[in-house]
Amino acid sequence: MFPEAEYRGRLARAQAEMRRRGLSALLVTTETDIFYFTGFLTRFWASPSRPWFVILPVDGDPIAVIPEIGAALMGRGWVSDIRTWPAPRPEDDGVTLLAAALAEQGGPVGTPDGPESHLRMPLADFARLKEASTHAIGSDGGIVAALRAIKSPAEIDCLRAVCALTNRAFDRVGEIAGEGVPLPRVFRAFQSLLLEEGADWVGFLAGAAGPDGYEDVISPANDRPLASGDVLMLDTGAVLGGYYSDFDRNYAVGEPSDCAVRAHRTLIDATRAGFDAARPGARACDVWQAMTAVTGRQKARFGHGLGLHLTEGLSFLETDESVLQQGMVLTLEPYVTTREGRIMVHEEVITLTEEGALPLTRFAEAELAVL
């Protein structure tokens, strides 16, 4: 958890935006939004059985309206107004308590409703809440997403640390992978490497292997053992203090093909071109332009924001005109098609300072690593 001043700064920035937009409060319901404002960190979000609510009033301190089971943990943080009910209680799972707390704030209330958001409560309960509320519950106008997109120095330190431990685990892939090893064993052992190097947990792992590349980048392990001539790709999101890394590495199993070697060099060149183009004031599409000038035009996006989620915020896409800002943490993620139905992908993480991009990962060499 960060010092209280970090959370107070986030709240103050949210309040300034609420004032500007005439909102009396924000209501947040998800793991990452609640963590962002309160520091409440638990893996218990894996349980969908209880809703959790935090109210951020335009004046004053946050109010946590949460299940009793979370009171002890929330009480260790900086939020002092904690109201609980014995959840699960399907007939009234916090709805009455939340409606009363919101009524104290007046209206209108905003809740995140834009890209990448969802409301983490049952729709039927949300309908009841709106009925029980004296004031309208509408959009937050993107306030929370905009705040979260700009990382503080403390957040960037966390992201640098989680990227560094991920780099160290990637350095050790030779210990666990090679010809004949089934991919599920590689996946399990790689997660252990991430834990040994200091990850709190592993929030994401995908990967694949095949001659000259792979079909997609979101699949779990298939059963095929690694074969000489394969390119193995592992893409992971390790978590440290609630913050995600997100990058991948490619490895040749035995002697790499010329095609794979060339593709990897192109990816590294494209990443470097993206790095040079990424600076405050540039647009997301400018960075996409710089990378696709090297790889050729591709359909999927070439990177995105990173933080409390594996992916969040802007996209390096032809159509995304978002302006890059100091304090953003972003991935550069070009890919190339190596042959019909096969691709190779490379990914690095950067942050934006006044002067331009700074790497948060130790960038890969142009030469494809050989296992």
Specify whether the CB–CB gap between 88 and 95 falls below 8 A. no
Specify whether the CB–CB gap between 6 and 35 falls below 8 A. no
How far is residue 267's CA from residue 291's CA, in Å, rounded to a whole number? Answer: 9
- H or E element in which residue 201 lies: strand 201-211
Stretch that binds a copy of itself, among 55-63, 99-107, 121-129, 173-181 (CB under 8 A): 121-129
Considering the complex, what minimum distance in angstroms separates the CB of residue 177 from a copy of itself?
15
CA dihedral 366, 204, 212, 255 (to 10 degrees): 60
Considering the complex, what minimum distance in angstroms separates the CB of residue 133 from a copy of itself?
15
Of the candidates 216, 197, 213, 244, the residue with the CA atom closest to the CA atom of residue 349: 244
Among 18, 27, 58, 206, binds a copy of itself (CB under 8 A): 206
254 binds a copy of itself (CB under 8 A): no
Specify whether the CB–CB gap between 110 and 138 falls below 8 A. yes
Among 175, 179, 215, 276, binds a copy of itself (CB under 8 A): 215
Residues 31-60 that bind a copy of itself (CB under 8 A): 41-44, 46-49
Size of the site for a copy of itself (CB under 8 A): 69
Among 7, 187, 251, 288, binds a copy of itself (CB under 8 A): 187
How far is residue 338's CA from residue 341's CA, in Å, rounded to a whole number? Answer: 8
Specify whether the CB–CB gap between 54 and 62 falls below 8 A. yes
Specify whether the CB–CB gap between 290 and 311 falls below 8 A. no
Lay out the site mask for a copy of itself across 290-319 (x = CB under 8 A, - = otherwise).
---------xxx--x----xxxx--x-x-x
Considering the complex, what minimum distance in angstroms separates the CB of residue 237 from a copy of itself?
6
Considering the complex, what minimum distance in angstroms separates the CB of residue 236 from a copy of itself?
9
- H or E element in which residue 125 lies: helix 123-132
CA dihedral 185, 188, 192, 193 (to 10 degrees): 60
Considering the complex, what minimum distance in angstroms separates the CB of residue 355 from a copy of itself?
29
Q: Which is nearer to a copy of itself, 155 or 235 (CB)?
A: 235
Among 81, 196, 321, 367, binds a copy of itself (CB under 8 A): 196
State both tokens at 157. 């330190």
Residues 132-161 that bind a copy of itself (CB under 8 A): 139
Residues sharing a CB contact under 8 Å with residue 195, sequence separation 6 or more, in sequence order: 201, 202
Stretch that binds a copy of itself, among 6-14, 81-89, 261-269, 324-332 (CB under 8 A): 81-89
Specify whether the CB–CB gap between 111 and 26 falls below 8 A. yes
Q: Which residues bind a copy of itself (CB under 8 A)?
A: 41-44, 46-49, 68-70, 72-73, 86, 88-90, 93, 111-124, 139, 184, 187-189, 191-192, 195-196, 198-206, 215-220, 237, 244, 299-301, 304, 309-312, 315, 317, 319
